[in-house]
Amino acid sequence: MGNEVADKAAKEACKDGAKGFFRTPFPDLQIQAVDKARIRFQAYLNDKALSTSTQYHLLYNPAPSAKPWYYKSALNRSEIVLINRLRSNHYNLNYSLFRKNMVQSPACVCGDPRQDLNHIVFYCPLTRIKARSLVRYLNRAFPSHARNAFLPLAKPSHKLCRLFLSFFKSIGISV
């Protein structure tokens, strides 16, 4: 009896087309919704990057991923926070604080007009000695990125993260 009903339904479908209301399974709808949301969010991020986070967007704009850059890395929370703040250009140095109207001047205490990451790592006479191991590692591991500490942060190694964290601790700046 079951085969006869199935045969009859198949013949009707061939003649008249499929009939009936078939409900779409929830997982299929969920996949479509997640894909649309991801596309909308990426478009939103691209639009915002044109006006607010141009450095981050130019240097670190990854392919859309559901996993963060530090997924499956052995980094601790303080290392992740430090690298995220350095990458986004939001840290406790005068150049960043000046852009948020938190200090009067972007200048460094040493007299340089711009206290940013590159200045305190490579150029500042007040921090040069404490930055030696970090600078040595950057020059050895990233010879094409000499004097730019932002570029190696695109895919930071565990050692680079540790060196940045120990450098900031040694100069007494809590990022």
CA-to-CA dists, residue 47 to 38, 54, 99, 134, angstroms: 14, 10, 21, 35
Stretch 43-72: mean pLDDT, rounded? 71
Stretch 19-31: mean pLDDT, rounded? 76
CB 101 within 8 A of CB 94: no
Highest mean pLDDT: which range of 19-23, 50-54, 128-132, 139-143: 128-132
Between residues 46 and 31, the one the model is more confident about: 31
Q: Which two tokens stand for residue 127?
A: 């921090």
Q: Is the dihedral of CA 136, 114, 127, 87 positive or negative?
A: negative
**Long-range Cβ pairs for the range 114-123 (8 Å, 24+):** 117/86, 117/91, 117/93, 117/149, 117/150, 118/147, 118/148, 118/149, 118/150, 119/95, 120/93, 120/171, 121/149, 121/167, 122/147, 122/149
Half-sphere exposure in the Cβ direction for 142 (13 Å, CA): 19
19 has a pLDDT exceeding 90: no
On average, the pLDDT of the chain sits at 85
Highest mean pLDDT: which range of 21-25, 134-138, 140-144, 149-153: 134-138
Beta-carbon count within 10 A of 30 CB = 10
Q: Is the dihedral of CA 87, 91, 94, 99 positive or negative?
A: positive
pLDDT per residue as tens digits for the range 109-140: 999 999 999 999 999 999 999 999 999 999 99
The CA distance from 131 to 123, in Å, is 10
pLDDT per residue as tens digits for the range 72-82: 888 999 999 99
* Domain residue spans of the chain: 29-61, 77-171
The CA distance from 55 to 117, in Å, is 13
CA-to-CA dists, residue 68 to 74, 79, 84, 135, 155, angstroms: 13, 14, 11, 27, 12
pLDDT per residue as tens digits for the range 36-51: 988 888 788 777 767 6
3-class state of residue 116 by DSSP: coil
2 has a pLDDT exceeding 70: no
pTM: 0.71
